[in-house]
Amino acid sequence: MNKVTIYDTTLRDGAQGEGINFSLPAKMRIVRSLDEFGIDYIEGGFAASNPKDMEFFEEMKKMPLKHARLAAFGSTRRASFTAETDPGLAAILQTEAPVATLFGKSWLLHVEQVLKTTADENLKMIADSVRYLKSKGKEVIYDAEHFFDGYLDNPAYALQTLEAAAAAGADALVVCDTNGGRMTSEIVKITAVVAKQFPKAVLGIHAHNDADVAVANSLAAVEAGASMVQGTLNGYGERTGNANLCSIIPGLVLKLGCDATCAANLANLRSLSLLLDEIADQRPLKSRPYVGESAFAHKAGMHVDAVSKASQSFEHIDPAVVGNERRILMSELSGASNVRLKTGEMGLDFQKDAPAVRDILQRLEHMEKSGYAFESADASFKLLVQKVLKRHKPFFDLEGFSVVVQKDDAESKATTVATIKINVKGQTELTAGEGDGPVDALNDALRKVLRRFYPAVDTVVLQDYHVRILDPETATRATTRVLIDSSDGREHWGTVGVSTNIIEASWEALLDSVEYKLFLDEKRRVAQEQPKD
């Protein structure tokens, strides 16, 4: 197997993505996670760009890494400085990082119109910078910026820039598709030329995703001779992002059969991806390959039936290999197989032609015609099954609720008060709650009543609230679908409510959210009380 090293630039290139901003503690946490996962190189930041990056490198001096090597990023010397007097190179040395990653220009357009220098001077800038950092005992990785664009413009000069770095002692030569616009066929052809020209060099690929082929380009470059891949977790990065390591790593290991240190920890890939989203305060993209929530989600009845018989029929890998899991979605496309597999998760075992399966399907189809969607509302579906099977035992009964929104004048803030009347264990309770809006007020009132009977409701956190208008052409009379995501710290679940009244739809989803928590706790209690063999 070909050995491939993984170079992560999430803390530098990834942080350049719109809406991404890592605090110092967050960067330290990310580094620890990347190191534990087995990433070979971690780029900590642009040494001369801002005080926050330098503060990070100062902190890293106190935290030795178990496996990864820390890299400081910077540019070749400026035309007006020598290597010894260049402030950017001095900043790299100040970080005390064992690896220096230098970027230099490969495209004459940049050399002449951006740097405002000559082609010969640019070659000297590259060689002087690499040679100087090598003399200081650094491992030097040379990033040939805009290499593919430069090669297509002037192949001879682009290769001369790599030769300048190699002759000066660079430990690795990385060809970069900085604009992210090159097609995979171009990447393969040009990378193969470089691999042939520099057979003894460690050759790397650094791709951006502007044409949505960064992952494909990175994998293809490895097949063409590269043995180092640079990228970011979840594809974070400027514009449309960098090559996504969460897709590249399993692609290298599982598809190309490459050897990578982090292969041993592949089962932690999804959790690492989710950790980055959490730290970056980004909503996880469900459709991400390998690690996304929908990566192994099956909706069509025929697909579910097939995957239940032979998983490889609609799953290109075992989800568990990357720390993911199969999900069966319930919708109007569902068949008996969906119902049996989904209810199987609840511990219910039905034959294919069981009347209960038919009853559940009929109820499901009827509700979806009314606007319900259970794909992201597993909890509501499971409660629905209990009701169809006449096994549902309500933990409380609603006798009525009212919501009052009051705004005194144009300048004042609206206040909301919700009053609910429910019966819990034979006792009728009437309580009011306040909130920033109707749903918040109803949630406050419901918890005030229930916490005396079911203290565990206080562990339920409403993590997200989605509203969708199903028939906007009917204007204010439109049917509204509300989805609520909840968690008790141990499990995560979704619930749904539908009505032409947004408050009623919200109440329905809120009710299912709390009921499902009580349903879960009851199941756990019963399981604990059952005698063990």
Whether the Cβ atoms of residue 231 and residue 219 lie closer than 8 Å to each other? no
- Looking at residue 361, what is its pLDDT? 73
* 493-509 tens-digit pLDDT: 888 899 988 899 998 99
Q: Tokens representing 212?
A: 């949505």
pLDDT over 70 percentage in the chain: 90
- Looking at residue 19, what is its pLDDT? 86
User: Which of the four pLDDT bands, split at 50, 70 and 90, describes residue 90?
Assistant: very high
Task: Tell me which architecture the domain covering 397-529 has in CATH.
Answer: 2-Layer Sandwich (3.30)
CA distance 239 to 171: 29
pLDDT of 1 strictly over 90: no
Packing angle, helices 184-197 and 214-223, rounded to 10: 30
**Which of 114-123, 172-181, 264-273 reaches the highest mean pLDDT?**
172-181
Q: Residues 6 or more apart from 199 whose CB is under 8 A from it? A: none
Q: Tokens representing 237?
A: 């990065």
Q: What is the 3-state secondary structure (H, E, C) of 372-430?
A: CCCCCCHHHHHHHHHHHCCCCCCCCEEEEEEEEEECCCCCCCCEEEEEEEEEECCEEEE
Of the candidate ranges 199-203, 291-295, 356-360, the one whose mean pLDDT is the lowest: 356-360
CA distance 154 to 459: 63
pLDDT over 90 percentage in the chain: 48
Whether the Cβ atoms of residue 299 and residue 331 lie closer than 8 Å to each other? yes
Q: Tokens representing 284?
A: 């996880």
CA distance 254 to 112: 43
* 27-81 tens-digit pLDDT: 998 999 999 999 999 999 888 777 888 889 999 998 899 999 999 999 999 998 9
- Looking at residue 328, what is its pLDDT? 64
- Looking at residue 334, what is its pLDDT? 53
Strand, helix or coil at 351?
coil
CA distance 280 to 290: 20
**Cα angle for residues 342, 344, 345 (degrees, 5° grid):** 70
CA distance 220 to 191: 9
pLDDT of 220 strictly over 90: yes
Task: Tell me which architecture the domain covering 5-280 has in CATH.
Answer: Alpha-Beta Barrel (3.20)
Angstrom distances, CA of residue 404 to CA of 194, 400, 447: 71, 14, 18
**Which of 91-100, 294-303, 473-482 reaches the highest mean pLDDT?**
91-100
Whether the Cβ atoms of residue 433 and residue 442 lie closer than 8 Å to each other? yes
Average of pLDDT values for 318-341? 67
Strand, helix or coil at 267?
helix
Domain ranges within the chain, ordered by starting residue: 5-280, 297-365, 397-529
Q: What is the largest CA-CA distance in the chain?
A: 89
Q: Tokens representing 504?
A: 């009623």
**Chain CA centroid to CA 69, Å:** 24
- Looking at residue 344, what is its pLDDT? 60
- Looking at residue 464, what is its pLDDT? 81
User: Which of the four pLDDT bands, split at 50, 70 and 90, describes residue 487?
Assistant: confident
From the list 175, 215, 210, 181, the residue with the least C-alpha distance to 193 is 175
pLDDT of 346 strictly over 70: no
CA distance 467 to 334: 24
403: which strand partners? 418
CA distance 475 to 45: 51
Average of pLDDT values for 186-209? 96
CA distance 490 to 486: 11
CA distance 296 to 304: 11
User: Which of the four pLDDT bands, split at 50, 70 and 90, describes residue 102?
Assistant: very high
- Looking at residue 210, what is its pLDDT? 95
* 247-281 tens-digit pLDDT: 999 999 999 999 999 999 999 998 899 888 878 87
How many Cβ atoms sit within 10 Å of the Cβ of residue 502?
18
pLDDT of 522 strictly over 90: no
Average of pLDDT values for 231-254? 95
Of the candidate ranges 124-138, 423-437, 463-477, the one whose mean pLDDT is the lowest: 463-477
User: Is the C-alpha dihedral spanning 162, 163, 166, 170 positive or negative?
Assistant: negative
The strand ranges marked E within 68-181 are 69-75, 99-105, 139-145, 172-177
pLDDT of 98 strictly over 70: yes
Of the candidate ranges 169-173, 352-356, 392-396, the one whose mean pLDDT is the lowest: 352-356
The model scores a pTM over 0.75: no
CA distance 212 to 333: 30
